[in-house]
Amino acid sequence: MTATHNDKNNEQDFKRLRAKDRAIQSELMAVSDKVRARHPFLMKHQDAVGMTIFLVSLAGMAVNGWLWFEGIMPAWVVIVLSAFWTSLLHELEHDLIHYMYFRKQPFWHHIMMAGVYLARPLTQNPWVRRHVHLHHHKVSGTETDLEERGITNGEKWGWRRFIMVGDNMFAFYLRAGKYFKEPRKLLKQGKVDRKDLKNLRIIAALSFTPVGTIIYGIWHGFVLFHLANGIAFLLGASIDWPQWLLAQEGWVTAMVVILIAPNVFRTFCLHFISSNMHYYGDNTPGIIHEQCQVMNKWYLLPLQLFCFNFGNTHAIHHFVVRDAFYIRHLGADESLEVLRRHGIRFNDMGTFKRANRMRTVEENAQLSEGTANASPSVIS
C-alpha cells in the first residue's frame, strides 16, 4: 500500500512539474512568435542569413590572420578578435545540429557543418556531436548526459576542473580511467543497454579523431616547447633543440595565433559558463525547468563576449528549441521575464560549491526524508 501510494505521489509530482514546463514553453513560444512576426525577413531567408554569418565569420578570421602576417595587428588582438568570430561559428554549429539551415539542401548543410568544424578544430566532430547534443536535451543533468559531463559538469571545483574547462583533450587525459570504467558501470546499473554501450564507444573513438587529436597535439607541443624554454631561461640555461624541430616553429606559431589560441580562449569562456549553468545529479529527469539556470551577472561579461552571451539565453533554448540563435537574442529581455516569473534560478553561484547540484547534501537528505519542500528556492 505504501509503495503504491508513493508511486502515485511521484506520478502526480511529475505531472505537476511537466505542467509547469508546458506553461513556460507556451509563454516563450508566444514571445518567439512576436519576434518572428516583427522580423519576417529573418524567417523567410533563414538559410541566407546563416550562410552570411558563416562567410563573414570566416572572412573575419582570415583578415585577422592576414593583418598579423603583415605585422599590422599584434598576436593578442588577433586571438581576441578571432575568438569572437569562432563564438559566432559555434552558434551556427549549434543551429546546424538542430537542422536550422539548408535542411532541404544537404550539400550546403554539410558544407557549413564542415566549415564550422575546421574553423573550430578543437571541438567535437559536429556529426558526432549531433547525436550527443540531441541526447543532452532528453537527459540533461543525468549520468548519461555526455555533452555536459564531458565539459566537467558535475565535477568538484578546483585546479583540475579549471584546467579541464578549457582543454577537451587534457580533460580526457585526466579522466581516462573514468571514460573506460563508467560505461560498464552504467550498463550494470541498467541506465544504458548494450546498444547504448556500443554507441558510447563509437562516440569516444570518433569525437576528436583525427582532426582534434592532431590539432591538440600541435597545441600541447607548442605550450611544452615554450614552457621548457621559459624554465631554462629562469635557470640561466638554454636548450639545444634539434634543427628539424626549430624549422617547424614558423608554421606552428602561425597556426596557434590564427586558429588554435582563439579556439582555446573561446572554449574556456563557453565551457566555464555552460558547465556551471547546467544542473546535475539532483534535478528531476525530463523536467526542463530544473535543467539549467540563467547566468548574466555583470562580472561574467568578459566571458559572455566570447560565447555570444550564452549564459543569458541558453535556458530559453531548452524550452524553445526551434529558434535560431539570433531570434532567441532578439526576444531575450521578454523571455527572461517569463523565466523569472516562473521561478527559474538566476545567478545561482552556489552551484560552484555544490558541484552543479541544485541543493546542498543536507537539503537533499531532508528532501529524501520528506521533511523539505521538493521545489527548489529561487535565487535572484
**What digits encode the pLDDT tens for the residues 44-93?**
999 999 999 999 999 999 999 999 999 999 999 999 999 999 999 999 99
Straight-line distance from the first to the last Cα atom of the chain, in angstroms, rounded to the nearest whole number? 41
Crossing angle (nearest 10°) for helices 126-139 and 106-118? 90
How many CB atoms are located within 10 Å of the residue 42 CB? 16
Residue in this structure with the C-alpha cell 505504501, named with its chain if needed: 2
Domain parsing of the chain, residue ranges: 2-368
Helix (H) or strand (E) holding 211: helix 211-234
Q: What local confidence, expressed as pLDDT, does residue 188 receive? A: 87
Give the C-alpha separation, 153 to 355, whole Å.
Answer: 8
Higher local confidence (pLDDT), 207 or 53? 53
- 299 secondary structure, DSSP code: G
DSSP letter string over 312-377? Answer: HHHHHHHH-TTS-HHHHHHTHHHHHHHHHHTT--B--GGGGTTTT-SS-HHHHHHHHTT-S-SSPP
Give the C-alpha separation, 120 to 355, whole Å.
Answer: 28
Of 161-165, 180-184, 243-247, the least confident = 180-184
Q: What local confidence, expressed as pLDDT, does residue 377 receive? A: 44
Higher local confidence (pLDDT), 43 or 204? 43
Higher local confidence (pLDDT), 62 or 188? 62
Give the C-alpha separation, 143 to 345, whole Å.
Answer: 22
- Residue 328 CA, chain-centre distance (Å), reads 17
Q: What local confidence, expressed as pLDDT, does residue 375 receive? A: 47
Question: Are 295 and 273 in contact, with CB atoms under 8 Å apart?
Answer: yes
For the whole model, what pTM was predicted?
0.92
7 CB burial (10 A radius; 0-12, 13-18, 19+): exposed
Q: What local confidence, expressed as pLDDT, does residue 160 receive? A: 93
Per the prediction, the chain carries an average pLDDT of: 92
- Residue 102 CA, chain-centre distance (Å), reads 23
Q: How much is the average pLDDT of 291-309?
A: 96
Of 56-70, 154-168, 325-339, the least confident = 154-168
DSSP letter string over 212-232? Answer: HHHHHHHHHHHHHHHHHHHHH
Q: What local confidence, expressed as pLDDT, does residue 2 receive? A: 52
Q: How much is the average pLDDT of 88-116?
A: 98
- Asked whether residue 3 carries a pLDDT value surpassing 60, the answer given is no
- Asked whether residue 8 carries a pLDDT value surpassing 80, the answer given is no
For residue 247, which amino acid is it? Answer: A
- Retrieve residue 322's grid coordinates: 526551434
**Torsional class of 355: left (φ above 0), alpha (ψ -120 to 50), beta (otherwise):** left
Measured CA distances, 254 to 64, 66, 116, 263 (Å): 12, 10, 20, 14
Measured CA distances, 95 to 92, 225, 324 (Å): 5, 38, 6
- Asked whether residue 29 carries a pLDDT value surpassing 90, the answer given is yes
- Residue 236 CA, chain-centre distance (Å), reads 43
In which band, very low, low, confident or very high, does the pLDDT at 190 lie, cut at 50, 70 and 90? confident
Q: How much is the average pLDDT of 40-45?
A: 96
